[in-house]
Structures are given as structure tokens and as C-alpha cells.
Amino acid sequence: MAQKTQDRANQILHLLLQRGKCSVDDLAAQVDTSAASVRRDLTKLEQRGLVHRTHGAVELAGKMTYEPFRFDAAFPLREERFADEKRRIAIAAAQLAVEGQTIVLAPGTTTTQVARSLRHRSNIHIVTSAVNIGMELSSLPSLQVTLTGGSVRWPGAFSMVGKTAYEAIERLFFDIAFLGVCGVDAEHGVTVIEPDEAFLLRAMVLHAKRVVIVADSSKLGTFSAAGICSLQEVHTVVTDGAVEPETVKSFEQHGVEVLVV
């Protein structure tokens, strides 16, 4: 793909990330080219598995039907909760990763959105303990994807834990760890529900230069049973505009950067 065409394709993908769905005419106006050129670009992007065209519109290819879990609504239901907020958070968080980096994505619905926001990027090594993230990124030759291995214990969570997963993380070092969690609190730190998962996410924190929490505002100022790390070990929290100003202030007092999107 010629550089000019590649640049235009990246513009199209970025617009779809921001808006979710666009018409061909809207895309043509935004990237300042003809509808015919946009259609040719979309054909190539669809062949790469990056977009999905419907009658009169186009959207990012992302949300997959996980066939073995088609009768288990747990993950899709969690995806729909604060869906717009999670999408905005993920787009902003994905922009923190740059070419040449190695990053790790913890399991979760928001980190899954981060993964989808990286689909059009290149030369990033993504390590994950989430089966579904590995599935969604496996067909993209522009990204290097490593699954930790391990045991899958919770239906619909796609989260791998255990000795194999832990040893994989122990052998690697990351520029950024992106964590989706159940609670972030100034006093109790970063938490999830399951101790086994907390143990693995703790290893990700210890092996990362930068720790980024991606969490909608409902999870801030709350905590769950299993601790991952203190708030002081977190570098950045990306959240939505409904976060309480007092919460932002308390996080910043602990040296945490808060990005509100």
C-alpha cells in the first residue's frame, strides 16, 4: 500500500474509532478525497479484517461472536455496561503506546477495547493473558501478539491464570501495562475480585515501566477483595468525565496522572 494511501487508511480508521460508524460520503469529506477512493480503501481494509461494511455505512471490525460462549451472556453484558465510556477510554489509552514498544494487556472489557483500538497500528508487541484479546489480534501481521498460556478458570472472562501464566510474565518486561480492574481507591489501591488474577496482574505491574489503569468512573473510589498494588505504583488512570473532582484530586495527590475523556 502506497504511503499516501496508507496515511488515508489510517485517517479512516481513526475516524471510525472516534465515531463508531460512518457513511462513505462522511469519510470522503473528512479525509478530503473522493467517495470512490474511500471505497477502494475500505475494500483493502475489509480484506485485512479491520472494517465491516453494511448498507450505506462502515464500522470497525471488532466485536466478535465468540462461538463457544454464544449462550453465555456474561462478557457481552459487561461489554455493554458503560460501553461509550469504555470506547473513549480505550482510544485515549491506546494513544499512549508507540511503535517499537512491548505492552501487556490484562483481561477485561475495557482492555479488550484498548486492543481493538490498536488493530490498525504496527510494530507493537502485545502480550496478554486474555484469550479473547489474543483471538481478536491473531490475524494482524502488523502486530506481534504473545499469549501467556495458563488455566482459564472463570466462564466468560477469558482470563488465564496459574503458574504457566505467571512464569511467562516473569520472563518479560514491558514499556506499559494496561490494567482493567474492579476498583481503584486512594487507601486500598488497585483491586480485582479473584486472588489468582490479582497475583498475575501484580507481576505485570512489577515488570512494567509505566502502569496505566483503564477504568470507567464507577470503579474509582471503590475496592474489591484482592489487592494488586498501591495507588503510588500507578502512573496513569484513564477514565470518563463522570468522575468526581474530589477523586481526581486525591489520585493526583498520590502522584497519579488522571486523564479524563
pLDDT at site 106: 98
What CATH architecture is 3-60? Orthogonal Bundle (1.10)
pLDDT at site 176: 99
* Amino acid sitting at position 107: P
Domain limits of the chain? 3-60, 67-260
Beta strands, E only, the chain: 21-22, 51-54, 57-60, 102-105, 124-128, 143-147, 151-152, 160-161, 174-179, 183-185, 189-192, 208-214, 226-229, 236-239, 257-260
Strand partners, 177: 104, 211
Distance CA 210, CA 67 (A): 35
Residues of the chain with pLDDT under 50: 65, 71
Closest CA to 133 of 161, 101, 109, 167: 109
Closest CA to 168 of 185, 151, 155: 151
- Please state, rounded to an integer, the average pLDDT across all residues of the chain: 89
pLDDT at site 20: 73
Contact residues for 244 (Cβ-Cβ < 8 A; gap 6+): 217, 220, 221
Closest CA to 201 of 214, 189, 210, 192: 192
Kindly state the helix (H) or strand (E) to which residue 106 belongs, with its residue range: none
pLDDT at site 49: 72
Per-residue model confidence as pLDDT tens digits over 215-255:
999 999 999 999 999 999 999 999 999 999 999 999 999 99
Grid coordinates of 220: 474509582
* Amino acid sitting at position 43: T
pTM of the model: 0.83
What CATH architecture is 67-260? 3-Layer(aba) Sandwich (3.40)
How many helices (H) and strands (E) would you count in the chain? 10, 15
Angle CA(207)–CA(208)–CA(211) in degrees, nearest 5?
135
Radius of gyration of the chain (CA): 19
